[in-house]
Chain A
Amino acid sequence: MYSKDMMNLLKEIMAVDFVLYELGLFLDTHPNERRALEDHNNFAKKSHQLKTAYEEKYGPLHINSISGFPYQYINDPWPWEIQYLGRESDVVL
Chain B
Amino acid sequence: MWYYEKKLQYPANVSRTDLGMAKFLYAQYGGPDSELSAAVRYLTQRYTMPIPQAKAVLTDIGTEELAHWEIIGTLIYKLTDGATPEQMRRAGVGNYYAQHDKALYPADAAGVPWTAAYIQSTGDPIADLHEDMAAEQKARTAYEHLINLTDDPCVIAALSFLREREVVHFQRFGETLMLVREYLDKKHVY
Contact, CB under 8 Å: B4 / A10: no
Does A79 reach chain B (CB closer than 8 Å)? Answer: yes
Is A78 at the interface (CB under 8 A from chain B)?
Answer: yes
List A1-59 residues whose CB lies under 8 Å from chain B.
10-11, 13-14, 17-18, 21-22, 24-26, 28-31
**Which of B5, B12, B77, B176 neighbours the largest number of chain A CB atoms within 10 Å of its CB?**
B5
**Chain B residues close to A by CB (< 8 Å):** 3-13, 53, 56-57, 60-61, 64, 70, 73-74, 77-78, 157, 161, 168, 172, 175-176, 179
A82 to B74, CA, bound (A): 10
Contact in complex: A29, B57 (CB < 8 Å):
yes
Min CB gap A7→B, angstroms:
9
A25 touches B70 (CB 8 A): no
By Cβ-Cβ distance, the 8 closest A-B pairs, closest first, are A84-B11, A80-B74, A29-B175, A28-B56, A79-B8, A61-B6, A28-B57, A84-B13
Tell me what chain B mostly uses at the interface: helix, strand, loop, or mixed: helix
Given contacts A80-B77, A87-B157, A88-B161, 5 further A-B contacts (CB under 8 A): A14-B9, A18-B10, A25-B168, A62-B5, A80-B74
Q: B7 to chain A: which residues have CB within 8 Å?
A: 10, 13-14, 17, 61, 79
Q: Which of A30, A73, A82, A83: most chain B CB closer than 10 A?
A: A82
Per DSSP, chain A at the interface is helix
The answer for the CA separation of A87 and B7 in the assembled complex, in Å, is: 16
Given the complex, which residues of B lie within 8 Å of A13, measured CB to CB? Answer: 7
B5 touches A84 (CB 8 A): no
CB closest residue in chain A, given B61: A25
| Chain A residue with the shortest CB-CB distance to B161 | A88
Alpha-carbon gap, A21 to B3, bound state (A) = 15
With A61-B7, A63-B3 as given contacts, are A79 and B168 in contact (CB-CB < 8 Å)?
no
16 inter-chain pairs at a CB distance below 8 angstroms, sorted by A residue, are A13-B7, A24-B60, A25-B60, A26-B172, A28-B57, A28-B172, A29-B53, A30-B175, A61-B6, A79-B74, A80-B8, A80-B77, A84-B11, A84-B12, A88-B10, A88-B11
Q: In the bound complex, what is the Cα–Cα distance between A31 and B176 (angstroms)?
A: 12
User: Is B11 a contact of A18 with CB atoms below 8 Å?
Assistant: no
A80 pairs with B175, CB closer than 8 A: no
Chain A residues near B179 (CB-CB < 8 A) = 29
Q: Which residue of A lies closest to B58 (CB)?
A: A28
